[in-house]
């Protein structure tokens, strides 16, 4: 039995309060790793700071690897889930898209990760992603659907997009220039701050779920 979080208090106006430390591993790619940013400006440090400001004794492990695909995440899942880890954020798939990897392959890799989390009795927040239209409608439909389908199948928490805090999948890229690095792919420090605002409530729900494990 993993360590429990005691004294979780929820209300319309207050975030949960936690009486002991919880450890969350963030398994992802360059977006999680903090590509192009100094360490404290990256996603994981900013999210940890945000969560601690809500009263949580939370430690985040940066398990993001730049360039990683779902296959890379699957290969790292078991050893990322050490006995100290209470919860897992899974944010992978962007590099699968860049390489045009079959969504069936990505789905199978994500299943490996979710099965490893199940075996370790670790709660998961699965972060979805939406494919562009240039691979064709069949590819897009299969890719977009695998995240909510797997979240339902494995009973994970689900967040539609890593970029929800920037307006989500439907936002006009031209409106995001002030929040992106020069490559137009990776957020700058201000963009990460907005992304963290979008992530925060989902991760608080993940912490609350982990309290019952």
CB atoms within 10 A of CB 57: 13
Active-site entry in 29, 30, 86, 161: 30
Phi, psi of 16 (to 5 degrees): -60, 150
Q: Is 102 helix (H, G, I), strand (E, B) or coil?
A: coil
Angle at 76 between CA 70 and CA 78, to 5 degrees: 120
- Measure the CA–CA gap between 107 and 49, rounded to whole angstroms: 32
Active-site entry in 68, 96, 161, 186: 186
Active-site entry in 29, 75, 183, 190: 183
Q: Examine the residue annotation and report whether 183 is marked as an active-site residue of this protein.
A: yes
Q: Examine the residue annotation and report whether 202 is marked as an active-site residue of this protein.
A: no
Complete DSSP assignment for 59-85: EEEEEE-TT--HHHHHHHHHHHS-TT-
- Measure the CA–CA gap between 196 and 76, rounded to whole angstroms: 24
Contact 188, 180 (CB under 8 A): yes
Q: Examine the residue annotation and report whether 164 is marked as an active-site residue of this protein.
A: no
* 111: enclosing H helix or E strand: helix 103-119
Q: Which residues are catalytic?
A: 30, 183, 186
């Amino acid at each position: 039995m993993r360590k429990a979080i005691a004294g979780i208090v929820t209300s319309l106006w207050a975030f949960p309060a936690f009486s002991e430390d919880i450890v969350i591993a963030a398994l992802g790619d360059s977006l999680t790793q903090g590509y192009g940013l100094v360490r404290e400006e990256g996603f994981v440090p900013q999210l940890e700071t945000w969560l601690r400001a809500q009263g949580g004794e939370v430690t985040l492990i940066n398990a993001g690897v730049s360039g990683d695909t779902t296959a890379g995440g699957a290969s790292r899942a078991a050893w990322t889930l050490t006995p100290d880890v209470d919860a897992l954020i899974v944010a992978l798939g962007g590099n699968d898209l860049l390489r045009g990897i079959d969504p069936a392959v990505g789905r199978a890799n994500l299943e490996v990760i979710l099965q490893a989390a199940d075996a370790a009795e670790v709660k998961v927040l699965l972060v979805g992603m939406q494919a562009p239209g240039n691979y064709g409608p069949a590819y897009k439909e299969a890719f977009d659907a695998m995240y909510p389908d797997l979240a339902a199948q494995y009973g994970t928490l689900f967040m539609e997009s890593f970029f929800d805090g920037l307006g989500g999948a439907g936002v006009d890229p031209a409106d995001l220039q002030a929040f992106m690095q020069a490559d137009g792919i990776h957020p700058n420090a201000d963009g990460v701050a907005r992304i963290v605002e979008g992530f925060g409530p989902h991760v608080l729900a993940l912490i609350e779920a982990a309290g019952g494990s």
